[in-house]
Amino acid sequence: MKMPKLGGFTGFVKKHMDMSALGVVLAGLALPSVALMVADRVNLTNQLARVPLVGNYISTEIGQLGLGVLTTSALAYAAVNFAGVNEKTAIAANMTAIGVLTAGVLVSRVPQLTAYFQSVSPINGYRGSIAGYRGGYLGYLGNVHADSGMGEAELLPAPQGEQLFGMGAAPRVNVF
């Protein structure tokens, strides 16, 4: 069997470096947060809760998804009509936003997904780890509470094994 060649790999990767497309994706990822800010600013949820038929559904997850889709679509429409954004660009950004909102509701409604996708839920915020750091104390302070007369802490020449708290929390992180 003949091994496949990787000759087109560089060209394939370069196609991913399209900054305008990256801008559209980033706008789409930011759009749910902006929509939430606008909805809070104009008190949209409480205003829609007063509408007889809509008021029953607006407090549910599906109602919040609908409100998110409506608000992001309104922002995309405003960007096209008032800011001169290309319609295809606004639709692409809004489709990304709708995907983020839908994923958040889907994750919250399917218990098996909740544990794995908690970091991408727009409802709970982005709680992903930074470079593998998962919490714990990583510093070495020595005996900072001891006063040696001049307000200085006693610093040992090297950390002692029993003083390295949280050493197993992130062994690949260098905090210094």
| Contact yes or no for 31/76 (Cβ under 8 A) | yes
- Average pLDDT score, the chain: 74
Q: Is the pTM of this model over 0.95?
A: no
Residues composing the chain: 176
Task: Report which secondary-structure segment, H or E, holds 48.
Answer: helix 44-49
Measured CA to CA, the distance from residue 24 to residue 91 in angstroms comes to 9
Helix, strand, or coil (residue 130): strand
Query: What value does the mean pLDDT take over residues 127-156?
Result: 49
* Percent of the chain topping pLDDT 90: 26
Measured CA to CA, the distance from residue 20 to residue 88 in angstroms comes to 12
Measured CA to CA, the distance from residue 52 to residue 47 in angstroms comes to 11
Q: Do 141 and 115 fall into the same domain?
A: no
* Percent of the chain topping pLDDT 70: 61
**Tell me, what's the pLDDT at 133?**
41
9-40 pLDDT tens trace: 888 888 888 888 889 999 999 999 999 899 88
Number of folded domains that form the chain: 2
Q: Do 21 and 102 fall into the same domain?
A: yes
Provide the residue range defining the domain that includes 69: 17-120
Query: Which residues are 130's β-sheet partners?
Result: 133
* Radius of gyration, alpha carbons of the chain: 25
Q: Do 23 and 86 fall into the same domain?
A: yes
In a domain, 34, yes or no: yes
In a domain, 3, yes or no: no
54-76 pLDDT tens trace: 888 888 888 889 989 999 999 99
In a domain, 41, yes or no: yes
